[in-house]
């Protein structure tokens, strides 16, 4: 049975927050809860949220984490290089937003990632790849033919590298090594904007056409 994936666009920067449900056993994970969201909380009724997967620790991807942990007790996954960012408003950039959003403090993640992990989640194989460039500890989550790519790559674009810890050459290397190595039909679900595929980006992304 295919995973049931719902997208909730949340927060001031319109971040894609994904609810992923195994319809067979009603277990679920959330990817990048960038803000609190009443509709997401309503969608959790009748399912068991076991894990929260963070691609990177910018405020617009973690501002809803604390609320979900409070509601469900779910484990929080993040790369070890950004473990301290979740509780640091300067590093997660929430302090720079001023009164537009409160400074985000999440606490330590439950699952510290290195990158390269392969495990089972929602009764499916999940692979975690370390993909620095947008941030030093950015990761992507690969469920077979669906990949949650955060702010690594977008439809016809790539992630910004002008924030602290960003590096454009490293970002492009991450994309080439960890994304373009996947089959063309693989779906890419980014942190902002519409979903795309590896094949589409290989042929059409202007940042990759050289």
Domain ranges of the chain: 4-204
Residue where the block lists tokens 């996954």: 77
**Which pLDDT score, from 0 to 100, does residue 63 have?**
93
Predicted local distance difference test score (pLDDT) of residue 96: 86
Alpha-carbon distance of 152 to 170, in angstroms, equals 11
Give residue 123's pLDDT: 92
Q: What is the reported pLDDT for 127? A: 98
DSSP sequence for the chain = ---EEEEEEETTTTEEEEEEE-TTT-EEEEE---S--HHHHHHTTTSEEEEEE-S---HHHHTTHHHHHHHH--EEEEEGGGTTGGG-TTTTSSGGGGGGSPPP-----SEEE-S--EEEETTEEEEEEE--SSSTT-EEEEETTEEEEETSEETTEE----STT--HHHHHHHIIIIITTS-TT-EEEESSS--EEHHHHHHH-TTT--
CATH 3.60.15.10 corresponds to the domain 4-204: yes
Phi, then psi, of 96 in degrees rounded to 5: -70, -15
Distance CA 87, CA 93 (A): 11
Whole-number pLDDT of residue 100: 52
pLDDT at 1: 55
pLDDT at 102: 57
Q: Profile the chain (210 residues) by mean pLDDT over runs of 10 residues.
A: 89 96 95 96 97 97 94 96 92 80 76 97 96 98 96 98 96 98 98 98 92
Half-sphere exposure of 29 (CA within 13 A, CB side): 19
123's tokens: 């009764």
| pLDDT value of position 209 | 85
CA 164 to chain centre: 18
Contacts of 14 (CB under 8 A, 6+ apart): 192
The predicted pLDDT at position 140 comes to 98
The structure's pTM equals 0.96
């Amino acid at each position: 049975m295919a995973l049931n994936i719902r997208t909730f666009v949340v927060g001031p920067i319109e971040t894609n927050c994904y609810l992923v449900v195994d319809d067979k056993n009603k277990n679920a994970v959330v990817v990048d809860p960038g803000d609190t969201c009443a509709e997401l909380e309503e969608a959790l009724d009748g399912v068991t949220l076991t894990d929260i997967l963070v691609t990177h620790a910018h405020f617009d991807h973690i501002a809803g984490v604390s609320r979900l942990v409070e509601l469900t007790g779910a484990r929080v996954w993040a790369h070890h290089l950004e473990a301290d960012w979740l509780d640091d408003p300067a590093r997660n950039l929430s302090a720079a937003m001023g009164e537009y959003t409160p400074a985000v403090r999440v606490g330590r993640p439950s699952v510290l990632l290195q990158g390269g992990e392969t495990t089972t989640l929602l009764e499916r194989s999940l692979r975690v790849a370390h993909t620095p460039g947008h941030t030093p500890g950015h990761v992507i989550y690969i469920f077979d033919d669906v990949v949650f790519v955060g702010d690594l790559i977008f439809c016809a674009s790539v992630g910004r590298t002008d924030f602290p810890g960003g590096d454009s050459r490293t970002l492009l290397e991450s994309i080439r090594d960890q994304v373009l190595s996947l089959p063309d039909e693989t779906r890419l679900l980014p942190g902002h904007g519409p979903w795309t595929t590896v094949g589409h980006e290989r042929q059409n992304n202007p940042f990759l056409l050289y």
